């Protein structure tokens, strides 16, 4: 099993004439907390959207290596037919399969979950219902078993409920289990999004600005939860965050993007003193920065 859970090679994403990602190469170590940082518009969310299948990358490779298998993320989203397909029936049928049935759900099923910059919960459902919906892939979906309420069906439901309450406890929301998700505070909703992602049993979770809008106490709780995921569940965390205090405190590794390119990588200490990074954040030329 590779030490790297994620290998991104030559990733490109173009929106018409806009090159959001030029040629992004990065790796994420299994079991690490890795931060993806950079100034506004650097391309961070675009990287997340490509990794999790919300965008089909314009080019490059994304390999996601779980403990069980390697998933080619770009392939499972459904690629265009290639000339070689017509002389290779196996390749053609695989391409056809993913064109018909591929999508973000397969990325999640492979073990990669995410949260969003703008919270996307089912606001009119209760907190626990949000977590049960997230588990629809794991529970018994046999219609007959549901209608007959078989013991196997009841066991599967009970397991889903146990899992939901386990993650509610981790994110400190057990007391809110029956509240409507949309009525909770912003910080609570952010934590619920993490619990929902964890209910899909991922090996890696991508958190898009999880501390945005949180007060310092909530940010500390969030940091504790993120460390818990790594330390107690060996979850790899990839996070986009503008709160540099938090990033420097919890990250094992930091990758810096600017204008669609990776400009630096390293541990927090190295990144804090990297001139290219300082220049990118200050919006000045490297030569103009005096340390
Ligand atoms: N769907 C889209 N259509 C057109 N342009 C887009 C789209 N999504 C992103 N972009 C452009 O790609 C570039 C990178 O945007 P992205 O949101 O990835 O940056 P970011 O680093 O996440 O920024 P922020 O920190 O402000 O969230 C920007 O120029 C943005 O305008």
pLDDT tops 70 at residue 132:
yes
Model confidence pTM above 0.90: no
Domains of the chain: 4-111+202-288 (3.40.50.300), 122-200 (no CATH)
* Spatial separation of the C-alpha atoms in residues 183 and 185, rounded to whole Å: 7
pLDDT tens readout for residues 158-176: 889 999 999 999 999 999 9
| 206 CA from centroid of ligand 1 (Å) | 17
Backbone dihedral region for residue 234 (phi beyond 0: left; psi -120 to 50: alpha; all else: beta) = left
Separation CA 72–CA 62 (nearest Å): 6
Distance 119 CA to ligand 1 centre (A): 17
Distance in Å, CA 77 to ligand 1 centroid: 21
Instruction: Tell me the ipTM for this assembly.
Output: 0.95
pLDDT tens digits for range 167-200: 999 999 999 989 999 999 989 999 999 999 999 9
Ligand 1 atom closest to the Cα of residue 47 is 18
Radius of gyration, CA atoms only, the chain: 20
Residue whose structure tokens are 């397969």: 106
Distance (Å, rounded) from C-alpha 141 to C-alpha 162? 18
Which residues line the pocket of ligand 1, CB cutoff 6 A?
15, 18, 20, 38, 40-46
What number is the average pLDDT over the span 256-266? 96
Which of these ranges, 56-65, 101-110, 279-288, has the smallest mean pLDDT? Answer: 279-288
Collect all residues with Cβ–Cβ distance below 8 Å to 223 and sequence separation of at least 6.
Answer: 246, 249, 250
Q: 238 with 34: CB under 8 angstroms?
A: yes
Pocket test for ligand 1, best of 37, 44, 114, 255 (most atoms within 8 A of CB): 44
290 is written with which tokens? 């005096």
Tokens of 108: 């999640």
């Amino acid at each position: 099993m590779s030490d790297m859970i994620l290998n991104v090679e030559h990733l490109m994403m173009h929106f018409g004439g806009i090159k959001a990602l030029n040629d992004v190469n990065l790796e994420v170590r299994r079991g690490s907390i890795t931060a993806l940082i950079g100034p506004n518009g650097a391309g961070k969310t675009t990287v997340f959207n490509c990794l999790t299948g919300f965008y089909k990358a314009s080019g490059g490779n994304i390999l996601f290596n779980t403990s069980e298998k390697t998933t080619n993320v770009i392939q499972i989203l459904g690629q265009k037919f290639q000339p070689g397909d017509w002389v290779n029936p196996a390749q053609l049928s695989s391409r056809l399969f993913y064109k018909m049935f591929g999508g973000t759900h397969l990325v999640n099923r492979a073990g990669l979950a995410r949260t969003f910059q703008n919270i996307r919960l089912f606001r009119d459902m209760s907190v626990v219902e949000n977590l049960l919906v997230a588990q629809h892939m794991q529970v018994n979906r046999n219609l007959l078993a549901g209608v007959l309420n078989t013991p196997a069906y009841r066991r599967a439901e009970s397991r889903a409920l146990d899992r939901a309450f386990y993650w509610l406890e981790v994110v400190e929301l057990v007391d809110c289990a029956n509240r409507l998700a949309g009525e909770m505070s912003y910080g609570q909703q952010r934590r619920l999004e993490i619990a929902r992602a964890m209910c899909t049993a991922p090996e890696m979770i991508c958190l898009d600005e999880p501390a945005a809008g949180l007060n310092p106490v909530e940010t500390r709780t969030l940091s504790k939860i993120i460390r818990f995921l790594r330390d107690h569940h060996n979850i790899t965390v990839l996070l986009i965050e503008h709160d540099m205090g938090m990033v420097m405190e919890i990250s094992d590794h930091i990758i810096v993007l600017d204008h669609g390119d990776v400009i630096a990588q390293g541990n927090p200490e190295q990144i804090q003193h990297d001139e290219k990074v300082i220049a990118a954040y200050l919006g000045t030329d490297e030569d103009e920065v005096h340390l």
